[in-house]
Chains A and B, each alone.
Chain A
Amino acid sequence: MMVQKRDIPAGIWDSCQECGHMVYQKEVEENLHCCPECGHHRRINARARIEQLVDPDSFEELYADLSPTDPLKFKDRIPYRERIKAVQRKTGERDAVVVGRAFIRGRAVILGAMNSDFIMASMGAVVGEKITRAIERAIEEDHPLVLVTASGGARMQEGMISLMQMAKTSAALAKLDEAGGLYIVVATDPTTAGVAASFASLGDVIVAEPGAMMGFAGPRVIANTIKQDLPDGFQTAEFMLKHGFVDRIVKRHDLRREIARIIDYSGK
């Protein structure tokens, strides 16, 4: 996962993180970045996600100019500004979410997808603002809102400003709810912490990709707190389904069809 895709010549072999099978890189890509042997869903970036999900050439990006500031002048081992610059260069993105208008099987939607390559898709002011604007746009245009979530949580380098994005996005979703809008969450690996405890848990319908990690606290934090081993399959999409917090588990290949189906049932 740490290796950049472009560093590897096309067609190289690669072993699946899940089943260990040697798989042909190109075959994996053609299979929507799922392992052809075991079906393991690999993490994909926001652009690849959008391309898979929407009708060809139907995506029109919105609010692309938003980029982060450094309100705390935060510095750990490296300054936040440097961190941002480096990751912007590496990913070609300004921050961790891409939003826009698109069509999914001919149905108009407002779509957002998070980018786990960008500081683990942590939510700072830009992510909060773009998600909120997407929600407002969905209300204005009366289109369904689809958010593909993946995040390590709030971006601690922006301090309390990032925590407050949880309140901001949740409050905006209350407006969407009052307007009678449809909001579909597609939870992907990993949907955790501050994002899990805000907009990713507030979908009218929540679907999740198989095997996606979903949870509030990090598994190591939990294990350290309770001094116990964690059960197998803890904090996965399947665990969340079993405990009643996910409506459906949907394979990547079926997402377009399932989203379209839910939109049709909602009458949007």
Chain B
Amino acid sequence: MRRERAVRPTELRPLTENGHLEFEKPLLRIQHDIAALEVEQRQGGRDMSDEIKQQHARMVAKTKRLYSHLTAWETVLVARHPGRPQIRDHIDNFVQDFCELHGDRAFGDDRALITGFGRVGGHKVMIVGHNKGRDTRERIECNFGCAHPEGYRKALLKMKLAEKYKVPVVCMIDTQGAFPGIGSEERGISQAIAVNMFEMSRLRTPIVCVVIGEGGSGGALGIGVGDRIALFENSFYSVISAEGCAAILWKTHEQRQRAAEALRFTAKDLRKLDIIDDVIPEPLGGAHRAPGLASQALEQYLVDTLRDLKRPRVDTLLKRRYERFRNMGSFYDAPSEFGKSKARKPASSRAPLRRPLPASRHVASPDPA
């Protein structure tokens, strides 16, 4: 993980009465203290700058402490924070000359998934990503970032365009999941996601995938196959939502905090499990406190990564991309009881290939059907 630059407390968006998370309450109290001191300074004419400075230091220390020990469930709350920068914010903050391209040329234009050309620090790129929406009107219009099949098909179409012009693809993942609805099933959401993974695994241009907020299951993976997979520090990427998991395994939503811990879906866990390559640091107090700084960190990551990915030949890139997914998963490969033998990685444990069956078997097998 790259080191984050020190953030001055004055750069942080203030917490609001309605907009703070439960565990941010202590921070809100310090913020109130600072405000009171400032009022006193203004009205009483006394110099309170030392006290204010002290409180600021307290704020920084407390925020650091809180954010270095977030529980998995708290991470979910931060990742879903309505003030967290979304794809549109990142585009506004650092993508130059964004040229949105709409539509899947077959059914419609899914607003939950946006695509278009843009420039990131001198690199031409194709941006593909979920859009959750920043206000109520936008959220409804883009279905809260839950895409339908046409969204995934649009994404693939634009990625193929990028491949044709040898432009790298940047995927920004931020979704609860693909939309579970009638139209979604009728138009083949399973097939759309499957085909995207199938084609992305062999797309002849670099692909960088970053989970900027929520990485929700198949809906995330539908634009999630690439050469580098990164997560923002306080985002998560999971096979199922904590609520869904709790409902199935514990038969109650109440256990979502336990489910969240059990699923090991935070950036730190996924790095340890070797599912993702990189963790992008967030500003002090989470991306929602300083969206501009979060965008800067993302831009820096993309610029560096694109430079690295443009170096190897495309064939080499594709070989590595394939190997990376091919080697995911741990299992025992020996005739023994569960848990008795040593787990091995697939590459080293490939069984020696047996000779093909003799051709005579073709005719020797009678056919009763």
Q: Does B238 contact A (CB under 8 A)?
A: yes
B367–A105 touching, CB < 8 Å: yes
Q: List A contacts of B339 (CB < 8 A).
A: 69-70, 81
Q: Does A180 contact B (CB under 8 A)?
A: no
* CB-CB under 8 A for A67 and B328, given A141-B356, A160-B273, A199-B194: no
A159–B238 touching, CB < 8 Å: yes
- What sequence of 0s and 1s flags, for each residue 212-230 of chain B, a beta carbon within 8 Å of any chain A beta carbon? 0000011001101100000
Q: Does B124 contact A (CB under 8 A)?
A: no
A161–B185 touching, CB < 8 Å: no
One of B57-65, B176-184, B289-297 at the interface: B176-184
B239, B250, B331: which contacts A67 (Cβ < 8 A)?
A: B331
* CB-CB under 8 A for A171 and B325, given A65-B334, A161-B330: yes
Name the distance in Å between A47's Cβ and chain B's nearest Cβ: 18
Q: Does B54 contact A (CB under 8 A)?
A: no
Q: Does A4 contact B (CB under 8 A)?
A: no
Closest B-chain residue to A152, C-beta based? B248
User: A85–B328 Cα gap in the complex (Å)?
Assistant: 23
- What sequence of 0s and 1s flags, for each residue 339-368 of chain B, a beta carbon within 8 Å of any chain A beta carbon? 100010010000101001100011101111
User: A159–B322 Cα gap in the complex (Å)?
Assistant: 21
Q: How many A-B residue pairs have CB under 8 A?
A: 234
Name the distance in Å between A166's Cβ and chain B's nearest Cβ: 6
User: A137–B193 Cα gap in the complex (Å)?
Assistant: 25
Q: Does A55 contact B (CB under 8 A)?
A: yes
B239–A160 touching, CB < 8 Å: yes
Q: List A contacts of B338 (CB < 8 A).
A: 67-68, 81, 84-85, 88
Of B248, B322, B325, most A-chain CB atoms within 10 Å:
B325
B275–A55 touching, CB < 8 Å: no
* CB-CB under 8 A for A216 and B330, given A56-B366, A159-B264, A160-B275: no
User: A256–B369 Cα gap in the complex (Å)?
Assistant: 7
B198–A66 touching, CB < 8 Å: no
B180, B224, B357: which contacts A167 (Cβ < 8 A)?
A: B224
Closest A-chain residue to B251, C-beta based? A77
Closest A-chain residue to B346, C-beta based? A129
- What sequence of 0s and 1s flags, for each residue 50-78 of chain B, a beta carbon within 8 Å of any chain A beta carbon? 00000000000000000000000000000
B362–A216 touching, CB < 8 Å: no
Q: Does B333 contact A (CB under 8 A)?
A: yes
B249–A156 touching, CB < 8 Å: yes
Q: Does B187 contact A (CB under 8 A)?
A: yes
Q: Does A174 contact B (CB under 8 A)?
A: yes
- What sequence of 0s and 1s flags, for each residue 66-78 of chain A, a beta carbon within 8 Å of any chain B beta carbon? 1111111011110
Q: Does A60 contact B (CB under 8 A)?
A: yes
Q: List B contacts of A165 (CB < 8 A).
A: 328-329
* CB-CB under 8 A for A216 and B202, given A159-B239, A165-B328: no
* CB-CB under 8 A for A231 and B353, given A103-B361, A108-B361, A166-B197: no
Q: Does B186 contact A (CB under 8 A)?
A: yes
Q: List B contacts of A60 (CB < 8 A).
A: 357
Name the distance in Å between B132's Cβ and chain A's nearest Cβ: 16
A161, A172, A194: which contacts B273 (Cβ < 8 A)?
A: A161
Q: Does B326 contact A (CB under 8 A)?
A: yes
Q: Does A198 contact B (CB under 8 A)?
A: yes
A201–B191 touching, CB < 8 Å: yes
User: A103–B237 Cα gap in the complex (Å)?
Assistant: 42
Closest B-chain residue to A80, C-beta based? B262
B180–A216 touching, CB < 8 Å: yes
Q: Does B93 contact A (CB under 8 A)?
A: no
A163–B221 touching, CB < 8 Å: yes
B325–A216 touching, CB < 8 Å: no
Q: List A contacts of B199 (CB < 8 A).
A: 174
- What sequence of 0s and 1s flags, for each residue 193-222 of chain A, a beta carbon within 8 Å of any chain B beta carbon? 110111111100000000000111110011
Q: List A contacts of B180 (CB < 8 A).
A: 216-218, 221-222, 225
Q: Does B189 contact A (CB under 8 A)?
A: yes
A108, A132, A222, A239: which contacts B326 (Cβ < 8 A)?
A: A132
* CB-CB under 8 A for A72 and B264, given A159-B238, A161-B329, A167-B224: yes
Closest A-chain residue to B329, C-beta based? A125
Of A178, A199, A222, most B-chain CB atoms within 10 Å:
A222
Closest A-chain residue to B226, C-beta based? A167
Q: Does A150 contact B (CB under 8 A)?
A: no
Name the distance in Å between A72's Cβ and chain B's nearest Cβ: 5
Chain B residues within 8 Å of A, Cβ to Cβ: 178-182, 184-191, 193-195, 197-199, 201-202, 217-218, 221-222, 224-225, 237-240, 244-245, 248-250, 258-259, 262-265, 270, 273, 275, 321-322, 325-326, 328-336, 338-339, 343, 346, 351, 353, 356-357, 361-363, 365-369
Question: What are 19 A-B interface contacts by the 8 Å CB criterion?
Answer: A56-B366, A58-B361, A68-B338, A69-B339, A81-B339, A85-B338, A108-B357, A164-B221, A164-B328, A168-B325, A171-B198, A199-B194, A200-B194, A216-B189, A217-B189, A221-B180, A222-B181, A225-B181, A226-B181
Q: Beyond A167-B221, A170-B197, A214-B190: 11 further Cβ-contacts under 8 Å?
A: A56-B366, A66-B333, A68-B338, A108-B361, A125-B331, A161-B329, A168-B326, A171-B197, A174-B199, A216-B189, A245-B190
